[in-house]
């Protein structure tokens, strides 16, 4: 506000007049809140009344997601609960199909200036949204004294998830449906052969060699096993993609060793991929495979496939030479900057709600995804659930060993390239060295576009 250094009654008159009209100035964040609070405490102006009325007007928030089946039903329940607790906010969940469908629709809506307020987003596509400048940074919301997160609340988010949601100190998402790779194993087969639960890759090979036969294959991998490749690569000290330089580096000595380790087991017949079964939970549930590495979010699917067939459990990703590492994947919640300020504030409230300890604990129990808050694991409901379903312990036990895939523009293209070249390696059409080098060369071309 301009200061008018005038003397006498005229000066005082103008100062009072300007103060009364101050509510018309446009300000943001904490400054606006402080200004409104000060005005309300000193005077009851028409402008103040209008501001209060505007803040209580209904706000609608569209939330695009890719959840289906029981997962979608859980989302709807959370939305209903939130809406019932916020009479002026109406969140509408909109299923957009698969994650690929969701991403394509978001990119199209961004160009058409018709984005929703909120959406799920696989973590490695967030850089695409940042690069195209239509996702909102969240720091102003997080740091807001009235509606933000306290230091304790922010520290309560699991570190590896929190780190994967920030770029150079700026948060562009909040973690929501997170998963990691765990080892599923047939307890009956292990007991039959007097074998202990595997902890290392040496244990995996020993068990696979021991139990393979009579229609059973010891070890299983999903058809797309690049996550296992990345984890073993990291355990060996190698790098998949250097996030700082956006350079693929996996065709290294460590990368060749990691890929060879898995391919040798498959070539020897002591391991297999899911093949025509699509997902390894199916042959595992039938008892055709003794162990396999898959997503922690697949626990409910394994339970359904194994019911009435086998007894099973799950444990952490195997270590290699004493090194523990497993990739964390899944999706976050992002806010788009095409929304109005009131919509963004309402959306922020919903983001906080979805990632609150109580909701993330319930979401984990219903969906198989991991809780994104440390305190969620301490709730009595979650502890009772894990005691009854110990396989759910495997994921959270790996929080300290977790890492996230390099978040770079072009990351999706690199994944598809690696899958294509890995298939050629598996079919014997290319050697491990040739396939990885080709994948790396193609990946770096894609990353430089």
Q: Tell me: pLDDT of 416 over 80.
A: yes
Q: Higher-confidence residue: 222 or 18?
A: 222
Residue 385 pLDDT class (50, 70, 90 cuts): very high
pTM: 0.83
Binning pLDDT at 50, 70 and 90, where does residue 449 land?
Answer: confident
The residue among 365, 397, 398, 395 whose CA lies nearest residue 379 is 365
**Among 23-37, 73-87, 307-321, 400-414, the least confident range:** 23-37
| Average pLDDT score over residue span 329-347 | 95
Question: How confident is the model over 103-114, as a mean pLDDT?
Answer: 96
Kindly state the percentage of the chain with pLDDT values over 70. Answer: 88
Task: Tell me what the mean pLDDT of segment 72-89 comes to.
Answer: 96
Residue 30 pLDDT greater than 70, yes or no: no
Domain 180-327+397-447, CATH: 3.40.190.10
And the tokens for 386? Answer: 């894990």
- DSSP assignment of 114-170 equals ---SEEEEEGGGHHHHHHTT-B---HHHHH-TTTS--HHHHHHB-HHHHHHTEETTE
- Which pLDDT score is estimated for 368? 86
% pLDDT > 90, the chain:
80
pLDDT tens digits, one per residue of 430-444: 999 999 999 999 999
Asked if 426 and 263 count as a contact pair (C-beta separation under 8 A), the reply is: yes
Considering the chain, what is the average pLDDT of its residues? 88
User: Which of the pair, 90 or 366, is modelled with greater confidence?
Assistant: 90
Return the CATH architecture of domain 59-178+329-388: 3-Layer(aba) Sandwich (3.40)
Q: Where are the domains of the chain?
A: 59-178+329-388, 180-327+397-447
* pLDDT above 90 for 59: yes
Strand ranges inside 233-336, DSSP E: 241-242, 247-248, 271-273, 289-295, 312-315, 326-335
CA 64 to chain centre: 15
Domains 59-178+329-388 and 180-327+397-447 are alike in CATH topology: yes
* pLDDT, average across residues 37-64: 54
What DSSP state is assigned to residue 251? S
Q: Which of 146, 321, 161, 361 is nearest to 234 (CA)?
A: 321
Tokens of 28: 């943001």
Question: Euclidean distance between the first and final Cα of the chain, in Å?
Answer: 48
Mode of pairing for the β-strands spanning 289-295 and 118-122: unpaired
Q: What is the pLDDT of residues 227-261, one digit of tens each?
A: 999 999 999 999 999 988 999 999 999 999 999 99
Model confidence pLDDT, tens digit, residues 179-193: 999 999 999 999 999
* Cα(71)–Cα(412) distance, integer angstroms: 24
Mean pLDDT value of segment 273-290: 95
Pick the more confident residue, 43 or 116.
116
Average pLDDT over residues 70-76: 94
Q: What is the pLDDT of residue 124?
A: 86
Q: Examine the pLDDT at 32 and tell me if it is beyond 60.
A: no
The secondary structure of residue 198, as a DSSP letter, is P
Q: Is the pLDDT of residue 445 over 80?
A: yes
Residue 33 has pLDDT above 90, yes or no: no
């Amino acid at each position: 506000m301009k200061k008018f250094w005038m003397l006498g009654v005229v000066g005082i008159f103008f100062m009072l007049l300007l103060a009364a009209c101050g509510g018309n100035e446009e300000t943001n964040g904490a400054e606006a809140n402080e200004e409104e609070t000060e005005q309300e405490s000193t005077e009851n102006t028409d402008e103040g009344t209008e501001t209060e009325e505007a803040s209580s007007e209904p706000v609608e928030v569209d939330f695009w997601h890719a959840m289906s089946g029981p997962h979608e039903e859980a989302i709807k329940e959370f939305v209903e609960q939130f809406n019932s607790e916020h009479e002026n906010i109406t969140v509408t969940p909109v299923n957009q199909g698969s994650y690929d469908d969701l991403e394509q629709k978001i990119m199209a809506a961004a160009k058409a200036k018709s984005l929703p307020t909120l959406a799920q987003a696989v973590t490695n596509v967030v850089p695409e949204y940042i690069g195209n400048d239509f996702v909102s940074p969240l720091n102003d919301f997080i740091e807001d004294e009235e509606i933000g997160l306290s230091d304790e609340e922010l520290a309560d988010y699991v570190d590896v998830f929190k780190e994967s949601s920030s770029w150079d100190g700026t948060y562009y998402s909040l973690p929501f449906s997170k998963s990691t790779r765990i080892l599923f194993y047939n307890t009956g087969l292990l007991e039959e052969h007097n074998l202990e639960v595997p902890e290392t890759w040496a244990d995996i090979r020993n068990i696979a060699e021991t139990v393979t036969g009579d229609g059973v294959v010891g070890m299983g991998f999903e058809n797309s096993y690049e996550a296992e490749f990345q984890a073993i690569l990291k355990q060996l000290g190698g790098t998949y993609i250097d996030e700082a330089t956006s350079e693929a580096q996996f065709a290294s000595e460590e990368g060749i060793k990691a890929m060879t380790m898995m391919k040798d087991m498959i070539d020897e017949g002591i391991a297999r991929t899911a093949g025509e079964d699509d997902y390894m939970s199916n042959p595992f549930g039938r008892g055709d495979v003794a162990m396999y590495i898959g997503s922690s979010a697949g626990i409910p699917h394994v339970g359904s496939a194994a019911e009435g067939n086998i007894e099973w459990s799950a444990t952490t990703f195997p270590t290699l030479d004493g090194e523990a590492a497993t990739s964390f994947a899944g999706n976050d919640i992002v806010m788009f900057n095409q929304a109005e300020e009131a919509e963004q504030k309402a959306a922020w409230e919903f983001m906080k709600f979805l990632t609150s300890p109580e909701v993330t604990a319930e979401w984990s129990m219903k969906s198989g995804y991991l809780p994104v808050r440390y305190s969620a694991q301490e709730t009595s409901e979650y502890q009772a659930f894990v005691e009854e379903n110990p396989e759910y312990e495997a994921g959270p036990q790996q929080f300290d060993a977790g890492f996230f895939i390099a978040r770079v523009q072009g990351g999706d293209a690199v994944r598809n390239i690696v899958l294509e070249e890995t298939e050629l390696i598996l079919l014997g059409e290319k050697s491990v060295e040739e396939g990885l080098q080709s994948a790396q060369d193609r990946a770096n071309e894609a990353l430089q576009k």
